[in-house]
Amino acid sequence: MLFTLAFTSLMRHRARTVLAMLGVAVSAAMLLDMVMLASGMRTSFRSLLLVRGFQLRIAPKGTLPFDTEALIDSASEVRSIVQAIPGVTTVSPVLGGQLRVELRDRVVAATALGVDPTVQGDYEVTAGREPKAPDEVAASDELLEAIGARIGDTLWVATGFDPQLRTYVSRRPVIVVARAHFLYAALGQRMIGAPLATLQSMRGSEAKDRTSLFMVRVGNGVDVEAVRARINDAAPKVTATSIASAMKFVDERLSYFRQLAFVLGTLSLFVGFLLVTTLVTVSVNERIGEIAVLRAIGVRRGRIVLQILIEGIAIMLSGAIAGLALGLVTGRYLDTILSDFPGLPAAMRFFLFEPRDAWAALGLLFACGVLAGIYPSWRGASLPIATTLREEAIA
């Protein structure tokens, strides 16, 4: 009965009710987007770091992986030290660099990663096979498209360009044996994956027995932080970073986005609350005489308050459901804009939807719907019956 009365009351002013629902939908969409923004970056980055199960990264002392161009000296020695630490199961060396693919009419630049093919965690082969021989490489779709090549083609690659002499330090032919998806590549970045020794030899003396970083995987049940501490003690020339310490650094770097999400989310929630409160207040003021009559014939105050609360909750929830769909659409669009930031991995997501985000938004909006209807409904149901009826009759 209460739900029928509440529905009938809302349908008396359909245009006003629909406009209120649309306003709530916009507020709900913004709220959902801000909830996704606040948690999505962190969740996405953590998932990206753990995509191949490597819990630790080792970089030159005082740096983060690929944060600078510094290299780890005596890489084979460091690798042996890390592999000897209890709990470590896999050590994957990575050397970064720039290669230029020479074509007949032009030169195409590409980012190269030198890896150990047996333990690499930087790319996934989507076609072909893992490059293992010194003259074999894997290439990204972006690079293959840019140079018009395919699996089985031979490419001439060079490194160490001297602008004065206009020559390269090293040139060699390589065979594309795989098409690969590079996990940490930026959007549109052209990538080449080659055996570590190949890239070291091409870079010459500057990269002899040197790497940019090591990725480390530990066994199940092993304390990652304890292993990190042992690595830092055993190899003082490097710095080991765990997922937890990396997330702490990311939180500091991305605190601006989290603060922005909190402020805008709070504002959207407040706007929705004010919108429903205003609508319910107007509706109650228009029905003061009706409420007084109901009180006069014996309808309890709590029942009247409950009916008006149902109206406020109905507006808030119906608008919220539409707002969740709108929020997913706008979140995806905004994510494509933010993902174009230079240097960010293409797999990084700013607006990452999780079911708990939707439930959190719905819960907050439901609470606002209840709070928005409490004061106007209680006020309207608490007015003196006789005085209210007399004023309504005179009016």
70 shares a domain with 18: no
285 shares a domain with 365: yes
Give yes or no for a contact between 216 and 57, defined as CB atoms under 8 angstroms apart.
Answer: yes
User: In this structure, what token pair is assigned to residue 177?
Assistant: 């044996």
Pairing of strands 191-195, 107-115: parallel
Residue 322, amino acid: A
Tell me how far apart the terminal alpha carbons of the chain are, to the nearest angstrom.
30
User: C-alpha angle with apex 94: 92 to 97, nearest 5 degrees?
Assistant: 170
The reply to whether 309 falls in a domain is: yes
Cα(179)–Cα(32) distance, integer angstroms: 38
pLDDT band at 390 (very low <50, low <70, confident <90, very high): low
User: In this structure, what token pair is assigned to residue 367?
Assistant: 């609470």
67 shares a domain with 41: no
Give the total number of structural domains in the chain.
2
Cα(380)–Cα(395) distance, integer angstroms: 17
Q: How far from 99 is each of 96, 107, 128, CA to CA, in Å?
A: 10, 10, 22
The reply to whether 137 falls in a domain is: yes
pLDDT at 143: 93
Backbone angles phi, psi at 99, to 5 degrees: -120, 155
pTM for this model (two decimals):
0.70
133 shares a domain with 220: yes
pLDDT at 191: 93
Residue 235, amino acid: A
At residue 47, does pLDDT exceed 70?
yes
104 shares a domain with 141: yes
The reply to whether 54 falls in a domain is: no
User: In this structure, what token pair is assigned to residue 211?
Assistant: 């790497």
Cα(30)–Cα(327) distance, integer angstroms: 6
34 shares a domain with 109: no
pLDDT at 125: 92
The reply to whether 291 falls in a domain is: yes
Task: Please name which of 214, 212, 126 lies closest in space to residue 176, comparing C-alpha atoms.
Answer: 126
At residue 236, does pLDDT exceed 80?
yes
Cα(77)–Cα(83) distance, integer angstroms: 10
The reply to whether 86 falls in a domain is: yes
107 shares a domain with 42: no
Tell me the residue range of the domain where 215 lies.
62-236
Task: Please name which of 149, 196, 197 lies closest in space to residue 175, comparing C-alpha atoms.
Answer: 149
CA 239 to chain centre: 26
Pairing of strands 123-128, 107-115: unpaired
Residue 136: CB partners within 8 Å, gap ≥ 6? Answer: 174, 175, 177, 194, 195
261 shares a domain with 211: no
* Angle between helix 301-338 and 2-12 (nearest 10): 60
229 shares a domain with 283: no
The reply to whether 374 falls in a domain is: yes
Q: Is 4 exposed, middle or buried (0-12, 13-18, 19+ CB in 10 A)?
A: exposed
CA 2 to chain centre: 43
Of 201, 236, 271, which one is at a domain's C-terminal end? 236
DSSP 186: B
Torsion angle of C-alpha atoms 248, 254, 256, 261, degrees rounded to 10: -100
What percentage of the chain reaches a pLDDT higher than 90? 21
Of 202, 236, 270, which one is at a domain's C-terminal end? 236
Q: Tell me the pLDDT tens digit for each residue of 105-147.
A: 888 889 999 999 889 888 999 999 999 898 999 999 999 999 9
pLDDT at 45: 74
pLDDT band at 82 (very low <50, low <70, confident <90, very high): very high
The reply to whether 382 falls in a domain is: yes
Of 236, 267, 287, which one is at a domain's C-terminal end? 236
The reply to whether 210 falls in a domain is: yes
pLDDT, averaged across the chain: 81
pLDDT band at 2 (very low <50, low <70, confident <90, very high): low
68 shares a domain with 42: no
94 shares a domain with 19: no
Q: Tell me the pLDDT tens digit for each residue of 28-42.
A: 888 788 877 777 777
224 shares a domain with 122: yes
